[in-house]
């Protein structure tokens, strides 16, 4: 993990660059996968299962018996933890429900806006080096609350042809029954085009590796929406001497263990504090089961000493982190200056992992700088906003002349005439 001291703003972009994603090379692999699934459906999915997951599948769908068996393989301790997380996540997302908006903007002109669920959604749940059953909660709960009528969950199978029991248990707990044994870009292809076993969906959610990310972005060319263009996980910690170095190191490592292409950043006004954190990282990383992954991620990572707070906050906004931990004495001032971040964790006792699992906020967040223009997943992600308008005869008499003038000046005579013909009708009727 490199250490930078007061780097100049013109160098920030280069010095804090994320690991390069070889988009062209990845797309060369992903595009043929999409085409084969679109053409051959389940047959292609089973072939890819053999090729990539090294498993022969007779059926792509998880059976009811498999779901019931999974419940017995999950410990009581984990079930209890999942239940606490479920309640918190459901409570926070249920609080996001908005009442229908109705506004009479002028007499006789009534406008409405109503939230309606996206009909069919696909949830992608990674199941490789870290089976993310927590993501089932993060995506499945708001999908259920929104009222999506069809929810399809895809997750890669093991070499035994099974999906991790915690994923199956969690899906069953929140009422998701359509579960498909398919992972990678081929899962995204199946959700995009539909196959004999996998329904075609309207929007795809969920994190994944670079191939999944590329497939999601390609899916948008086929009238399928996605939650966001997500890349490897990342965290930026902004901490001063009021923070505990061991806490900061543990937060940085909690993201570094995600994958070799993850990135973690420390920003601090004190070089002495930065060195304490680096010392803690070196001690803690040796105790991690995934230390080899963490070491590779740390090679992409940086500690930045920035003595000037205004510049430090400008650097954070420029980087636009997925996760931002703020552990500084004047936290309110720092928080008020942040406008680019996926999710913010405040104070010494708010680890990022709490948001990953059970605090209630969603952990599906924009990475790779997309926090500049994307929000994390919320209840709104599973809803569409439809607007309505109703104009009375009196309302058209008041509003119509305005529309006629505007349409005429845009040289759209048919637009104008749609109003004029009605106004003339009302005039005749009044005689």
In DSSP notation, 177-219 reads -EEEE--HHHHHHHHHH--SSS---SEEE----HHHHHHHHHH
Kindly provide the b/e burial profile for residues 232-257, where b requires at least 16 CB atoms within 10 angstroms of the residue's own CB.
bbbbbbbbbeebebebbbbbbbbbbb
Q: Are 360 and 92 in contact (CB under 8 A)?
A: yes
**126 and 175 both lie in a single domain:** yes
Q: Are residues 222 and 310 in the same domain?
A: no
**Same domain for 43 and 153?**
yes
221 and 156 co-located in one domain: yes
255 belongs to an annotated ligand binding site: yes
Q: Which range of residues forms the domain containing residue 418?
A: 392-430
Q: Provide the annotated active-site residues.
A: 322-323
User: pTM for the whole thing?
Assistant: 0.93
Show pLDDT as tens, one digit a residue, over the chain (431 residues).
Answer: 999 999 999 999 999 998 877 788 999 999 999 999 999 999 999 999 999 999 999 999 999 999 999 999 999 999 999 999 999 999 999 999 999 999 999 999 999 999 999 999 999 999 866 789 999 999 999 999 999 999 999 999 999 999 999 999 999 999 999 999 999 999 999 999 999 999 999 999 999 888 999 999 999 999 999 999 877 889 999 999 999 999 999 999 999 998 898 999 999 999 999 999 999 999 999 999 999 999 999 998 999 999 999 999 999 999 999 999 999 999 999 999 999 999 999 999 999 999 999 999 999 999 999 999 999 999 999 999 999 999 999 999 999 999 999 999 999 999 999 999 999 999 988 77
How many CB atoms sit inside 10 A of residue 307's CB?
12
State whether 174 and 289 are in the same domain.
no
Is the distance from CB of 13 to CB of 320 less than 8 angstroms? no
233 labelled binding-site residue:
yes
The count of structural domains within the chain is 3
Are 270 and 310 found together in one domain?
yes
Residue 356 annotated as part of some ligand binding site: yes
Same domain (yes/no): 123, 223: yes
124 is in an annotated binding site: yes
Q: Is residue 72 part of a domain?
A: yes
> Residue 209 annotated as binding?
yes
| CATH number of the domain that residue 244 is part of | 3.40.50.1980
Query: 192 with 219: CB under 8 angstroms?
Result: yes
Q: Residues 387, 113: contact at Cβ < 8 Å? A: yes
Residues 56 and 139 in one domain: yes
Which of 206, 227, 248 is a domain's end point? Answer: 227
In a domain, 175, yes or no: yes
194 with 263, same domain: the answer is no
Domain with residue 420: its CATH number is 1.20.5.1300
Query: Are both 193 and 128 inside the same structural domain?
Result: yes
Tell me the Cα Rg of the chain.
26
Q: How far apart are CA 117 and CA 148, in angstroms?
A: 5
């Amino acid at each position: 993990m490199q250490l930078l001291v007061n780097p100049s703003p013109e160098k920030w972009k280069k010095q804090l660059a994320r690991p390069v994603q070889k988009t062209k090379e990845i797309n060369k692999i992903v595009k043929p996968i999409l085409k084969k699934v679109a053409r051959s459906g389940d047959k292609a999915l089973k072939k890819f299962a053999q090729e990539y997951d090294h498993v022969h599948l007779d059926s792509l769908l998880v059976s009811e018996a498999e779901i019931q068996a999974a419940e017995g393989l999950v410990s009581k301790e984990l079930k209890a933890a999942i239940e606490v997380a479920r309640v918190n996540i459901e409570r926070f997302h249920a609080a996001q429900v908005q009442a229908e908006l109705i506004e009479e903007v002028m007499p006789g002109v009534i406008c409405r806006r109503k939230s309606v669920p996206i009909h069919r959604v696909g949830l992608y749940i990674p199941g490789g080096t870290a089976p993310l059953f927590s993501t089932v909660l993060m995506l499945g709960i708001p999908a259920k609350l929104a009222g999506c009528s069809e929810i399809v969950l895809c997750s890669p199978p093991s070499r035994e042809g099974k999906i991790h029991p915690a994923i199956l248990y969690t899906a069953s707990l929140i009422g998701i029954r359509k579960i498909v044994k398919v992972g990678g870009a081929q899962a995204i292809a199946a959700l995009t085009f539909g196959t004999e076993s996998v329904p075609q969906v309207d929007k795809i959610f969920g994190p994944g590796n670079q191939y999944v990310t590329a497939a999601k972005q390609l899916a948008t060319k086929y009238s399928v929406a996605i939650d966001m263009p997500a890349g490897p996980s990342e965290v930026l910690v902004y901490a001063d001497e009021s923070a505990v170095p061991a806490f900061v190191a543990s937060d940085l490592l909690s993201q570094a263990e995600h994958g070799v292409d993850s990135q973690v950043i420390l920003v601090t006004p004190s070089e002495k504090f930065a060195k304490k954190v680096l010392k803690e990282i070196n001690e803690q990383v040796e105790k991690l089961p995934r230390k080899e992954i963490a070491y590779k991620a740390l090679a992409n990572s940086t500690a930045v000493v920035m003595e000037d707070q205004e510049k430090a906050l400008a650097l954070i906004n420029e980087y636009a982190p997925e996760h931002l931990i703020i552990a500084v004495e004047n936290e309110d001032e720092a928080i008020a200056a942040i406008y680019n971040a996926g999710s913010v964790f405040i104070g010494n006792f708010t680890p990022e992992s709490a948001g990953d699992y059970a605090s209630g906020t969603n952990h599906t967040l924009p990475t790779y700088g997309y926090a500049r223009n994307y929000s994390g997943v919320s209840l709104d992600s599973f809803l569409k906003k439809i607007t309505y308008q109703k104009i009375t005869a009196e309302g058209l008499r008041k509003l119509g002349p305005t529309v006629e003038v505007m349409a005429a000046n845009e040289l759209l005579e048919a637009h104008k005439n749609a109003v004029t013909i009605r106004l003339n009708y009302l005039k005749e009727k009044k005689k």
